């Protein structure tokens, strides 16, 4: 029997009102798939082809998900949450021929399977997002919060672009003592963003805190990081290693702790990195604002203050093909301030081709430090300390109120006469010494207004200088969790 159209419409309306007829959780249109629950998301990610965007409504999607090459994933902001508490990352991404975009999401690794032995942890150590492949990926407006492993781990892809990324780990100051050597360290988040052998990484506006190794790691990865805040971390804010160029701009890096180890660096550049920084602020880091070891670069308008043992520390830095002007490291800019640090504001150890210009080097406070080639500890508070180094340029400097010495040049390690140029360098203030040279001579002298001790005459004894840093133990995710380099 044929049912009249009006009757059919009325029946549908009654069923809808009773909840027996509902809208689907998945929809599609053009190159988009829209989901509002986990089942739909799993199906969409399984079926989506390259070029399709999967859009998620607000809500929590439980599980671990895989994103194929060329498929993009977009949420409705922080209210769209991917959450997983099992083994492995929340989201695994394959980068291929077409660009993949991930945006406007929260990624949560809420709890982690516990491993007493860190060598038993899977390669990703859990974490938020794992990206591998040979293509390009764009990340924007993401909040990634993890309780173990790495917030975002990227390995081997051609290129990564990241903007407005908030990375949150579970490490607090109460966890900090000894965290890098605890056998149960696998229950901690170890890095915010780890870049390993990526072709190029361009990052903007990154906030990372609460990780036990570093905020951002450039390992064999050239790239830029412009804008953001890295803070309340163990190890280093930024760690760059490998024969690559890394540029950092407009960053505030502060309160980097050290665990029970001599770590705590705002920026660490090791193993032939060419590091360029501009307008960075490095404050209250446990050991050093900037550490450079076997690396080169230039720092413009750096503000380095309140660091625990060194402001800027350069060791084993020599000119390379990337420094055609013969300067291994240049620190300059009329906004450059190395102020109120502890121990040594600007230190140069066994390096050549170093230039410091247009800087205020003031207010260094004494602390107890291990003396070079000695087991004893001595109180050191020097504005500029040069040890076994040559070919130095100091110009347009104000060196004031450093508690022990304004400038001390220790011409040891086979350097009997230090080639050094002083131009418009003034030393003044209430320190014990203005300028001192020991174990050799220098080619020129600065202008010393107060506390005039030149070239270690009979009025003074040899001053102890500090030891180099143990850069082979600089922490990174590669030596916190068993991830081969």
Instruction: Return d(Cα 429, Cα 278) in angstroms, integer.
Output: 29
Asked whether residue 102 is domain-assigned, the answer is yes
- Assigned token pair, 318: 């020599």
Question: Nearest Cα to 163, choosing from 176, 152, 179, 174?
Answer: 152
The bridge status of strand 53-56 relative to strand 72-74 is: parallel
391 and 301 fall within a common domain: yes
- 11 lies in a domain? no
Q: Do 126 and 193 fall into the same domain?
A: yes
Residue 17 lies in a domain: no
Q: What is the pLDDT of residues 266-290, one digit of tens each?
A: 999 999 999 999 999 999 999 999 9
**Cα torsion 163, 169, 171, 173: sign:** positive
Matching residue, tokens 């090459």: 69
CA 10, distance to chain mean position in Å, is 64
Note whether 197 and 249 are same-domain residues. Answer: yes
Please, where are the H alpha helices in 182-252?
none
Structure tokens at 321: 């093909």
Distance separating the N- and C-terminal Cα atoms of the chain: 74
Measured from the Cβ of residue 173, the count of other Cβ atoms closer than 10 Å reads: 10
Q: Flag whether 132 is in a domain.
A: yes
Assigned token pair, 340: 């109120």
In a domain, 14, yes or no: no
Q: What is the DSSP string of 431-472?
A: SSEEEEEESSEES---EE-SS---S--TT-PPPP-BPPP-GG
Same domain, residue pair 173 and 309: no
Q: Do residues 314 and 253 share a domain?
A: no
**Statement to judge: residues 102 and 208 lie in one domain:** yes
In a domain, 4, yes or no: no
Closest CA to 101 of 70, 56, 135, 132: 70
Residue 236 confidence (pLDDT): 92
Same domain, residue pair 214 and 341: no
Rounded distance between C-alpha atoms, residue 421 and residue 443, angstroms: 7
Number of structural domains (the chain) is 2
Please write the tens of the pLDDT for every residue from 32-82.
Answer: 899 999 999 999 999 999 999 999 999 999 999 999 999 999 999 999 999
pLDDT (tens digit per residue) in 146-178: 988 899 999 999 999 999 999 999 988 887 766
Q: Is residue 233 assigned to a domain?
A: yes
**Using a CB cutoff of 8 Å and minimum separation of 24, what contacts does 370-375 make?**
370/466, 370/467, 371/464, 371/465, 371/466, 371/467, 372/410, 372/464, 372/465, 372/466, 372/467, 372/468, 373/467, 374/464
Rounded CA-CA distance 90/398 in Å is 52
d(CA 245, CA 260): 31
In DSSP notation, 122-162 reads -TT-S-SEEEEESSEEEEEEEEEEESSEEEEEEES-SEEEE
Q: Does the residue 269 lie in any domain?
A: no
Sole residue written with tokens 């291990």? 370
| Contact assessment for residue 355 and residue 332, using Cβ atoms and an 8 Å cutoff | yes
Provide the β-strand partners of residue 278: 249, 300
**Do 255 and 303 fall into the same domain?**
no
Strand, helix or coil at 316? coil
351 and 224 housed in the same domain: no
Residues 6+ apart with CB under 8 A from 145: 106, 107, 108, 109, 128, 151, 167, 168, 169
CB 311 within 8 A of CB 346: yes
- What six digits make up the tokens of 343? 């121990």
Is the C-alpha dihedral spanning 329, 163, 214, 381 positive or negative? Answer: positive
Domain ends where: 261, 278, 299? 261
298 CB contacts (<8 Å, ≥6 apart)? 275, 276, 277, 329, 330, 331, 332
Which candidate, 367, 356, 450, 368, places its Cα nearest to that of 409? 356
Q: Report the C-alpha gap between 70 and 135 in whole angstroms.
A: 9
Q: Select from 261, 280, 298 the last residue of a domain.
A: 261
Beta-carbon contacts of residue 46 (< 8 Å; ≥ 6 apart): none
Same domain, 50 and 193: yes
- pLDDT tens over the chain, length 485 residues: 444 544 544 444 444 444 333 334 566 555 889 999 999 999 999 999 999 999 999 999 999 999 999 999 999 999 999 999 888 899 999 999 899 999 999 999 987 765 555 454 444 457 899 999 999 999 999 999 998 889 999 999 999 999 999 999 998 888 776 676 655 556 788 899 999 999 999 999 999 999 988 899 999 999 999 999 999 998 899 999 989 999 999 999 999 998 656 689 999 999 999 999 999 999 999 999 999 999 999 999 999 999 999 999 999 999 998 887 889 999 999 999 999 999 999 999 999 999 999 999 999 999 999 999 888 999 999 999 999 999 999 999 999 999 999 999 998 877 788 999 999 998 887 788 888 888 888 998 888 765 555 444 434 578 899 999 876 555 555 454 433 22
Instruction: Indicate if 47 and 146 belong to the same structural domain.
Output: yes
- Are 122 and 190 members of one domain? yes
Residue 370's domain comprises 288-468
Q: Cα angle at 259 between 255 and 265, to 5 degrees?
A: 45
Q: Which helix (H) or strand (E) holds 44?
A: helix 38-47
């Amino acid at each position: 029997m044929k049912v009249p159209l009006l009757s059919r419409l009325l029946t549908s309306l009654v069923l809808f009102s009773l909840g027996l007829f509902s809208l689907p959780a998945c929809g599609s249109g053009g190159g988009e798939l829209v989901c509002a629950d986990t089942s739909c998301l799993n199906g969409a990610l399984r079926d989506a082809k390259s070029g399709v965007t999967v859009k998620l409504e607000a809500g929590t999607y439980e599980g671990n998900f895989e994103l194929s090459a060329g498929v993009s994933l977009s949420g409705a902001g922080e209210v769209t949450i991917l959450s997983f508490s099992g083994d492995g990352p929340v989201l695994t991404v394959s980068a291929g021929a077409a660009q993949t975009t991930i945006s406007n999401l929260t990624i949560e690794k809420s709890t982690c399977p516990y491993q007493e032995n860190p060598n038993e942890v899977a390669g990703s150590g859990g974490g938020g997002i794992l990206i591998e492949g040979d293509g390009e990926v764009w990340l924007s407006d993401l909040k990634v919060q993890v309780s173990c492993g790495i917030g975002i781990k990227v390995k081997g892809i051609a290129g990564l672009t990241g903007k407005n990324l908030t990375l949150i780990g579970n490490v607090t100051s109460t966890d900090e003592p000894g965290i890098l050597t605890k056998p149960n360290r696998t229950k901690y988040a170890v890095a915010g963003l780890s870049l390993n052998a990526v072709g190029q990484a361009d990052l903007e506006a990154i906030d990372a805190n609460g990780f036990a190794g570093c905020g951002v790691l450039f390992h064999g990865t050239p790239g830029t990081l412009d804008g953001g805040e890295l803070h309340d971390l163990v190890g280093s804010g930024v760690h760059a290693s490998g024969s690559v160029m890394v540029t950092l701009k407009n960053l505030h890096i502060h309160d980097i702790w050290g665990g029970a180890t001599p770590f705590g660096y705002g920026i660490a550049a090791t193993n032939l990195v060419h590091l360029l920084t501009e307008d960075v602020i490095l404050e209250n880091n446990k050991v050093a604002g900037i550490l450079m070891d076997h690396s080169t670069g230039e720092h413009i308008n750096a503000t380095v203050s309140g660091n625990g043992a060194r402001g800027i520390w350069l060791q084993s830095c020599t000119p390379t093909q990337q420094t055609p002007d013969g300067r291994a490291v240049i620190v300059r800019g009329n906004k450059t301030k190395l102020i109120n640090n502890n121990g040594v504001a600007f230190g140069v150890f066994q390096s050549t081709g170093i230039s410091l210009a247009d800087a205020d080097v003031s207010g260094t406070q004494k602390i107890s430090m291990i003396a070079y080639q000695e087991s004893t500890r001595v109180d050191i508070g020097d504005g500029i300390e040069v040890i076994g180094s040559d070919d130095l340029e100091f110009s347009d400097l104000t060196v004031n109120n450093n508690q022990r010495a304004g400038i001390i040049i220790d011409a040891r390690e086979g350097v009997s006469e230090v080639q050094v140029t002083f131009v418009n360098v003034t030393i003044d203030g209430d320190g014990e010494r203005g300028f001192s040279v020991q174990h050799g001579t220098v080619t020129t002298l600065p202008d010393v207004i107060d506390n005039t001790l030149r070239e270690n005459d009979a009025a003074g004894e040899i001053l102890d200088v500090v030891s180099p840093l143990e850069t082979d133990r600089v922490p990174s995710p590669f030596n916190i969790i068993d991830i081969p380099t």
